Structure 1
Amino acid sequence: MENSVFRILLILAFISFLYGCGEQASSEERRRPPNFVFILVDDLGWTDLSCFGSSFYETPNIDKLAASGMKFTNAYAACPVCSPTRASILTGKYPARIDATDWFGAPQPSNIEKHWTKDKPLLPAAYTEYMKTEEKTLAEALKEAGYATFFAGKWHLGDEEKYYPEQQGFDINIGGYFRGGPYTGNQYFSPYDNPKMENGPEGEHLPDRLATETAKFIEQHKDSTFLAYLSFYSVHTPLMAREDLEKKYQAKKDSLGLEDEWGQEGERQHRLVQSHPVYAGMIEAMDQAVGKVLDQLKTSGVEDNTVVIFMSDNGGLATSEGHPTTNLPLRAGKGWLYEGGIREPMIVRWPGVTQTGSESHVTVTSTDFYPSMLEMAGITQLPEQHTDGKSFVNVLEGSAEPIHDAIFWHYPHYGNQGGSPGSAIRKGDWKLIHWYEDDRFELFNLKEDIGEEQNVASEHPKEIEILKKELNEWLQDVDGKMPSPNPNAEERRL
């Protein structure tokens, strides 16, 4: 009897030991730094996804991502145009702090005579036309921590090889160089004639190719820790879609009885209805490419330990270059400091942390990815050069507490899409824009007026003074460069 009891106790102890080992392995697995898939879409508007309100565009794969992670309704790009926002993601700094305030290739005050803005009242501020190599990028920080790093798609952060992805922390670069769009070869279809990517079979579609290359990297590095940075050229101009998708959305437009409708934003015509079949086809093709990458995470067995981040670099193109989309209820679009130019559709899925189908209204901006991803990776000490971003890890864990007292923009340029030089601050529900051309201020309460239709500056003088003071102090802190009077414009008027 005693021997039987003893044997039973031994068996129970052994089972307990095995269970403890399993718990330990499980705990160790949870402590392993996560992989990252960072998906950046070009010129995608806040309401260009089904899960963010579109009833015309179809994005089932991104919708599934949102349903399995967290949507951010108050996420912002650091600039209303591309290069500055891209630099802010990789450096964790506001574009004004690194003097990268316009898209790289835009006019400088020294060559404005060659540009359509030569007769404007102001000369644009001078800016740096590349992301400086002394900046320690997100990719470099993760690489130092043992991550394999991969880049595919649009770079647009410098026009020389020394500024390209492989010199900025990425082990592999597929398709990233100085151009801001697929302007060579057959553009969105092979042959691409892209010096950083071999041509595929004739007619191969660019978003699918970039997704295929990203999926290949994931499979090859499934046993290591990795950063896969998929930076689509889509949905930037030129407006080109697969023929099957263009036909699909033309039929959908006809069946819904949609008519193109137009409003006015300053001197520019402004699209009011999402009804552009080509643009809709571009969005669905991008969504299919996202689906291919997400499927690969599952196939490679790394889905549960991979953080997926989805973001756009600026607002949708609504007032220029074909006017392909509208950002309503937000005002204006790409190139403007109104919400349509800077508020973005953002999604984060961190398995085991983000609640499925959750939504956060906390205000975040593109500088915040740097410290957030490093914290997720277990890197506790940020590089000394990092100054502006705030980690939103606590938000992913369910906190609704603000991480910023205020966020800022500085765009001292004339945008190709009609926007004028200005700066802006958002603090709580208040947003102040300072337009430099006529030294004018606009104040909006975004909670009550998301469309920025009612300028309430005259009704809230105290709020104006508080926000002006904070904006000016921030501009001094970052050494924001200012536009200046254009003497040529004055001479022409005389």
Structure 2
Amino acid sequence: MKTRIIASLLLAATGFVHGKAKVPNVVVFLVDDLGYMDVGANNPDCFYDTPNIDALARSGMRFTDGYAANPVCSPTRYSLMTGKYPTRARATNYFSGKRAETFNPAPLNDNMPLDETTLAQALKTKGYATFFAGKWHLGESEEYYPQNRGFDVNIGGYSRGGPYSGNKYFAPFKNPEIKEESPEGEHLPARLARETATFIEANKARPFLAYLSFYSVHTPLQGRPDLVEKYKKKAAGMAGDEFGVEEQIWPVEKERKVRVLQKHAVYAAMVEAMDEAVGQVLRQLETSGVAENTLVVFTSDNGGLATSEGLPTSNLPLRGGKGWVYEGGIREPWIVRYPGVTKAGSESAQPICSIDLFPTVAAAAGVRIDHVVDGIDLLPALKGGTLDRQSLYWHYPHYGNQGNFPGGAIREGDYKLVERYEDGQVHLYNLKKDIGEQDDLAARQPERVEQMRKRLHAWYKTVDAQFLREKDGKTPWHP
């Protein structure tokens, strides 16, 4: 008996109980504005070279139907940190986007409330070391910054949504949360990857969370000169129109261009430099001897920038892009490698969302969740099975910078219903047959429209959704 007790204590101390491996380390790669079609793993004809991301997909599971909770950055970042739909906190636009057009936008809470439990705070209850690098954009002042939301280390995360200070993507950065300045000219993604790798090596003997949240590939569009030159040469041999015309938007005011061909050399350089940084961190996991006990997640916060602000990428065949509730604005690269759970080179068509990161990581780490979350543990899908969830929802009651219409959406199975908030018009698409959302089935399937719309409106009430407001005497539609 005494021998068995001693053995049990030793197993517990080393992290092995009942034959189960110790809790995994966690590495999250979050890329800013990276579209679903911007990585080779999703797009064999991709203009951009992403060998490290593609290798990660070959070593883990690629989700074909992975989503962001919102078509712009701050709300999705909130959902990744909390496991909740951002509508619950009225954090429904980038902080702080308050543009008004035909109508006034819904009220916006432009911070992640201080009473939210973040992913980092949850993992610290299990003894994790926690690290954040890159873009935060979840509050205007220091009490909202990563170091006060559960992260032991913060390199570069503060209020700004892009690298707008100093020399932007090149040192000197003049970022108030990068305390030790880089050598002049150092590239920002390389600096963030270097800091992440250093943290991994220093904490390899204990469980850790390393959350690398790139500023890339957000504007300003700046690339390393060597990579820009590479893609200029590559683009020179490509034929075809780079731009097309977007749909007319209600109310019709003007035509909008949309990029239909990936050919932007500077954007391509930004994508490849980000991929190199991903590779640097993945190699550090191997060098530190922790790769086989590290859960790695790679995703983006919204779709590629295809309809405004330089139109640097194309999301085709997906419709729209950043700022839109069409697939181009919300369908994201999602790759998960969980050694011992995911099968190398596997794929899943299960619809997943950024709200699922928190509960999935919490379950892997043995964290008990005793508060409301909207996401679910993805373990069944990671093992190759199905998920028990009827619907996913989106709510964007704002005018973004990308020419969008304020709207909401619900996905159930292969079907997606889009609802426009200015006039209440709805559209229905079968994504399995029509991933480009061109064939509107609403008039042909009124019963399905009624059922899905009823559930969408019930969800609005559950999360206390806010909508467009009157402007200049004009009253918008309201559910």
For the aligned pair, the TM-score class normalised by the smaller chain equals over 0.9
Confirm or deny: 8 A CA contact 1:364 1:403 kept in the other structure: no
Partner residue in 2 for 1:77: 68
Amino acid aligned to 1:274: Q
Deviation, structure 1 residue 135:
0.4
Confirm or deny: 8 A CA contact 2:53 2:278 kept in the other structure: yes
Partner residue in 2 for 1:371: 359
Indicate the SS of the match to 1:173: strand
Q: How many residues align?
A: 457
Give a deviation string over 1:388-430, Cα, whole Å, max 9, x none.
011111111121x233200000100011101111111001111
Closer, same or farther in 2 for the Cα pair 1:183/1:488, shift >3 Å?
Answer: farther
Amino acid aligned to 2:467: M
Give a deviation string over 1:321-369, Cα, whole Å, max 9, x none.
1000011110010000000000001000001110000000001111011
Tell me how far apart the structure 1 counterparts of residues 434 and 40 of structure 2 sit (CA, whole Å): 23
Aligned-residue CA RMSD (Å) = 1.8
Tell me how far apart the structure 2 counterparts of residues 383 and 282 of structure 1 sit (CA, whole Å): 40
Amino acid aligned to 2:88: R
Which 5+ residue runs of structure 2 have no aligned equivalent? Answer: 1-9, 249-254
Asked if 1:300 is matched to 2:288, the reply is yes
Asked if 1:231 is matched to 2:213, the reply is yes
Residues 57-456 of structure 1: pairs in structure 2 closer than 5 A: 57-107=48-98, 115=99, 117=100, 120-197=101-178, 198-257=180-239, 259-266=241-248, 267-379=255-367, 381-384=368-371, 386-399=372-385, 401-456=386-441
1:43 pairs, out of 30, 33, 44, with 33
Deviation, structure 1 residue 387:
2.2
Indicate the SS of the match to 1:402: coil
Indicate the SS of the match to 1:52: coil
Partner residue in 2 for 1:6: none
Indicate the SS of the match to 2:295: strand
Confirm or deny: 8 A CA contact 1:392 1:403 kept in the other structure: no
Confirm or deny: 8 A CA contact 1:62 1:290 kept in the other structure: yes
Indicate the SS of the match to 1:442: strand
Tell me how far apart the structure 2 counterparts of residues 245 and 132 of structure 1 sit (CA, whole Å): 40
Tell me how far apart the structure 1 counterparts of residues 90 and 216 of structure 2 sit (CA, whole Å): 26
Give a deviation string over 1:201-250, Cα, whole Å, max 9, x none.
11000000000000000000000100000000000000000000000001
Partner residue in 2 for 1:5: none
Confirm or deny: 8 A CA contact 1:50 1:59 kept in the other structure: yes
Amino acid aligned to 1:152: A
Amino acid aligned to 1:470: R
Amino acid aligned to 2:200: I
Could you state the TM-score of these two structures normalised by the residue count of structure 2? 0.93
Could you state the TM-score of these two structures normalised by the residue count of structure 1? 0.90
- Paired-residue identity, %: 54
Higher helix share: 1
Deviation, structure 1 residue 296:
0.2
Indicate the SS of the match to 2:63: strand
Tell me how far apart the structure 2 counterparts of residues 201 and 25 of structure 1 sit (CA, whole Å): 41
Give a deviation string over 1:418-468, Cα, whole Å, max 9, x none.
111111100111111110112211111111110000111100000010011
Indicate the SS of the match to 2:36: coil
Give a deviation string over 1:145-186, Cα, whole Å, max 9, x none.
110000000000000101000111101000000000000000
Confirm or deny: 8 A CA contact 2:342 2:382 kept in the other structure: yes
Deviation, structure 1 residue 27:
5.6
Amino acid aligned to 1:432: L
Give a deviation string over 1:250-283, Cα, whole Å, max 9, x none.
1011133455232324442100000100000000
Tell me how far apart the structure 2 counterparts of residues 377 and 123 of structure 1 sit (CA, whole Å): 43
